[in-house]
Amino acid sequence: MSSAATLSGRVAVITGGASGIGRATAILLAQHGARIFVGDYRLSSETSQALGAHGITASTCDVRNVADLQRLIDGAATAAGRLDILVNNAGIGMVKQIQAVSEDDWDNCLDTNFKAAFFGAKFAIPYLVSAGGGSIVNTASNAGLLPRAHDPVYSISKMALIGLTKSLALCHSKDRIRINAVCPGPVIDTGMMNSDLAAAIDPTATAKQFIAASPLADAHGRMIRPEEVAEAILYLVSDAACMVTGTAIAIDGGKSLGVPPRS
Any idea which residues carry the catalytic annotation? 154
Contact 109, 222 (CB under 8 A): no
Distance CA 175, CA 126 (A): 10
| Shortest distance (Å) from residue 159 CB to ligand NAD | 12
Nearer residue to ligand NAD within complex by CB, 74 or 175: 74
Q: Which amino acid is residue 115, in one-letter code?
A: K
Distance CA 108, CA 91 (A): 10
Helix extents (H) in the chain? 20-31, 45-52, 66-80, 103-110, 116-130, 152-172, 191-199, 203-212, 215-220, 226-237
SS3 54: coil
Task: Give residues in contact with ligand NAD (CB under 6 A).
Answer: 15-16, 18-22, 40-42, 61-64, 89-92, 112, 139, 141, 184, 186-187, 190-193
| Shortest distance (Å) from residue 18 CB to ligand NAD | 4
Distance CA 77, CA 87 (A): 14
Dihedral pair phi/psi, residue 207, rounded to 5°: -60, -40
Nearer residue to ligand NAD within complex by CB, 158 or 178: 158
Nearer residue to ligand NAD within complex by CB, 22 or 134: 22
Nearer residue to ligand NAD within complex by CB, 89 or 245: 89
SS3 44: coil
SS3 175: helix
| Shortest distance (Å) from residue 78 CB to ligand NAD | 20
H or E segment and range at residue 22: helix 20-31
Give rounded-to-5 percent helix, strand, coil for the chain.
Answer: 55, 15, 30
SS3 225: coil
Other beta carbons within 10 angstroms of residue 212's beta carbon come to: 13
Nearer residue to ligand NAD within complex by CB, 91 or 253: 91
